Structure 1
Amino acid sequence: MPAPPAPRRPPHERRPRRHHGARPGHPAGQPPHEHPPAPRPRRRLRPHRGTPARRYGQGLTISGNADQIHLQRQAPLLEEFVRRGGRVLVNGHIVRPFLPGLTPWRALDHRGPADLVITPVTPHPVFEGVDPAELLYRTGVPGTPTGEELTRVGVAGFYGRGYQTHLPEGATVLNGIGPHALPVDVVHPLGRGQVMVHAGNDLLSFCDPDRSTRHLGPRLLAWLEGTL
């Protein structure tokens, strides 16, 4: 005769069922989503060693939306990168300087496009051939208006609404903003490298294929690589 089945344990003695997909160390019987994974740590910048950075064609562009508190924590590595020959494009409004030579941003008192006009100050290959009006005005209409039409339908203020204060020694103002041509685009040396600062929305966002700004992006990348 076949052996009788083993008696079932009373409910209070049964082991809890392991939830499908539970990870080691996760409490049995509870779905994994009740214990979210720990946040991933931020990656630290690695210091550059050996040959100067520009010989490798290395550059760094920092968005205006970057976390300046975090960048301040990485300041020694950023400074070492530039001093060894790297090039950095810094966009946005500097509130917490994270590199030598960066200074706080100051807003302009503006009431119209004339208060935000962009004026070339010192020639630079990145901005060669760029019409300042096509930096000043942005449009959302179809087509690519230029000249008087661009002035009529365009909106000013996207390129910049303020300027940099207390420029470091050796700094060169590339473009000015407002009736007094206050510094909105500046470049200054740092060790064997260079830092370019644009006090406005990300400079690479102003590359329009059907305007004079179409070469702005490739020239910026070439400058970051050290070939311009």
Structure 2
Amino acid sequence: MTLNILKLDPGHAFGRDGRAMSADNRETKHVSVMDQYAFGDADISNYNVLYVTDFIDQEYLYTQREKIAAFLDAGNIVVSCTHIFRPWLPNVHLFTPKEIRKFSDYDVVLSEDSAIFEGVDAAELVSRKGVAGFFARGFQPVYHDVEVHVRFTDGTPVTYVDRTSTNGTMFIHAARDILSFVTGDNTSKRIAPQMLEWLKRELQKENN
């Protein structure tokens, strides 16, 4: 299965096209980038993955929720790497900040069954240069059956897959762009290539 990923560009200061802190914005095979505000009028029938990251204009996405739902109902995948505060995805509840009383409250547990996070040290996600809180600071509450890949130590899900709310697949990740984990000198650089392989396998499931 060939990946055809449409990534919506929010045009923020951490983005591509020469803006600041864009080390993770190298050209990625299978990924086409579109200005977020072009989405409404765009023909997206050639894409099978819609990819949304932090700083996206969720008020705008809310106006496009029916188009997004139709994309999912066609058996496609939506990847959301942001804190959802408007209901632009079916059956995804709004972001809840994690109550932090001590640094260890940022700690996460990776599912042993997750092919995306296979071989990744959770501690290397949570802390950088001794500072905690880089990976996740909250979650999307879940009240139905999902496949959890990352959770806080209290059990609340940071990253999960929903295959039941629509005819497609939703990858809900209450943290930053998961494809940005491709560089560095620790195990987190395994995530981006493993995510791309997971997307290919997921599409094969959807088309069988």
State the TM-score, normalizing by the size of structure 2. 0.70
Comparing both structures, which one devotes a greater share of its residues to strand?
2
Contact 1:97/1:103, CA 8 A, preserved across alignment: yes
Aligned to 1:95: 85
Aligned to 2:100: 110
Structure 2 Cα separation of the partners of residues 111 and 205 of structure 1: 28
| SS of equivalent residue, structure 1 residue 127 | coil
C-alpha change, 1:172 and 1:45, in structure 2 (3 Å) is: farther
Structure 2 Cα separation of the partners of residues 47 and 164 of structure 1: 29
Structure showing greater radius of gyration is 1
Aligned to 2:68: 78
Aligned-pair Cα RMSD in Å: 2.4
Structure 2 Cα separation of the partners of residues 182 and 122 of structure 1: 16
Query: 1:1-228 maps to which residues of 2 (within 5 A)?
Result: 42-43=37-38, 44-46=40-42, 58-121=48-111, 123-139=113-129, 154-165=130-141, 167-177=142-152, 179-189=153-163, 190-225=165-200, 226=203
Structure 2 Cα separation of the partners of residues 47 and 101 of structure 1: 25
| SS of equivalent residue, structure 1 residue 62 | strand
* Sequence identity percentage: 30
Identify unmatched segments of 5+ residues in structure 1: 1-40, 140-153
C-alpha change, 1:199 and 1:135, in structure 2 (3 Å) is: same
Amino acid at match of 1:74: Q
Identify unmatched segments of 5+ residues in structure 2: 1-35
Structure 1 Cα separation of the partners of residues 71 and 185 of structure 2: 35
Structure 2 Cα separation of the partners of residues 100 and 122 of structure 1: 27
State the TM-score, normalizing by the size of structure 1. 0.65
